[in-house]
Amino acid sequence: MNRPEYIQERDGALWLTEVESDHLKLNWRLKDVLHVERSPFQEIVIVDTETFGRALVLDGVVQTTAGDEFIYNEMISHIPLALHPNPKRVLVIGGGDGGVVRECLKYPSVERVDLVEIDERVTRACKMYLPELAGKLDDPRVRTRFEDGVQYVKGVRNQYDVIIVDSSDPIGPAAVLFEEPFYRLVKEALRPGGIMVCQSESPFFYLPVLQNTRRLLNELFPVTRTYWAPVPTYPGALWTFTLGCLFDPFEDSGWICRIREKSTRYVTAELAVGSFVLPAFVRGALGVAE
């Protein structure tokens, strides 16, 4: 197993250097390197970090860790699923680690979750090394397809109640998932009354991405809202998610009750409501009143 160049031994310990930007790097001390593999799409590494336990690393960027994945995965899943009055069919694009699927399955109305991940090897590695994330992928309600998310949604019309775009950063293969043609296809893949959500990055590090995402969804959907959560392992900490809704799910405040009793570690009904209250500088940057 060839160790990638961003994992080095120093002072008798293994360190992973994550390049957050040209100007900021994070050094994670590792207990172990569990898996290294080059797929047709990216370099897939699973490490065991001292700070947050096992982590999935793609092309040197930490995507998720056992220690804090629950914040991101709960927030990108429970908010749209609770907002939809009766979600039966859910599509997850990206999200090959399985964390989002796990959360979706907590909603009894959900009959089927389609996971469309471009890289089969990511899912295979997560099944082996991160079972707490990928363990529910064998649930009979789940169908996993390994193909390009954009190509997949081109072929579907009017099929999903909720679509969750769990993408990596808008560089490389995931860049198309932040563009207008893709969002238009996602809208067409929704059933009437459907809801889509995408991660829309940090307002500190990627403000133009957030602004652009919000603008594009505004043009396509009658109701668009941005919410946020603190994600310790992502640069900028304050992470945003943006919803596009084919109806106004906020008219019925009963949605927050649907989060109760879902065995979550981060989100609660009250926190779900609070997550839509944006910091003043984000509100200003988006030009919205929320």
Q: Where is the binding site for S-methyl-5'-thioadenosine, in residues?
A: 42, 117, 148-149, 173
Please report, for residues 3, 12, 37, 46, 123, the alpha-carbon distance to residue 30 in angstroms, rounded to integers and kept in the order given. Answer: 13, 11, 18, 11, 22
How many angstroms separate the CA atoms of 54 and 65, rounded? Answer: 6
Q: Provide the angle, in degrees to the nearest 10, between the axes of the packed helices 207-220 and 180-189.
A: 40
Which residue's entry shows tokens 């999903």?
Answer: 160
Whichever of 89 and 102 has its CB closer to its own copies, that residue is 102
261 near its own copies, judged by CB under 8 A = no
User: Looking at the DSSP assignment, which residues form a beta bridge with residue 36?
Assistant: 45
Q: Of residues 139, 166, 248, 252, which has the active-site annotation?
A: 166
Residue 128 neighbours by CB under 8 Å, 6+ apart? 35
Residues 184-223, one symbol each (x = binds its own copies by CB under 8 A, - = not), give ------------------x-x-------------------
| Closest to 249 measured CA to CA, from 286, 202, 284, 197 | 197
Please tell me what DSSP assigns to residue 2.
P
**Rounded to the nearest whole angstrom, what is the least distance from the CB of residue 195 to its own copies in the complex?**
22
Which two three-digit tokens encode residue 222? 């009658």
Q: In the complex, what is the shortest distance from the CB of residue 226 to its own copies, in angstroms, rounded to a whole number?
A: 14
139 noted as active-site residue: no
Smaller CB separation from its own copies, 246 or 288: 288
- Which residue ranges are tagged as binding site? 42, 97, 117, 148-149, 166-169, 173
Residues 56-85: x where in contact with its own copies by CB under 8 A, - otherwise, as a string: -----------xx-xx--------------
Interface positions with its own copies (CB under 8 A): 15, 17, 21-29, 49-51, 67-68, 70-71, 202, 204, 228, 230-232, 235-238, 264-268, 270-271, 273-275, 277-281, 283
| Active-site residue list | 166
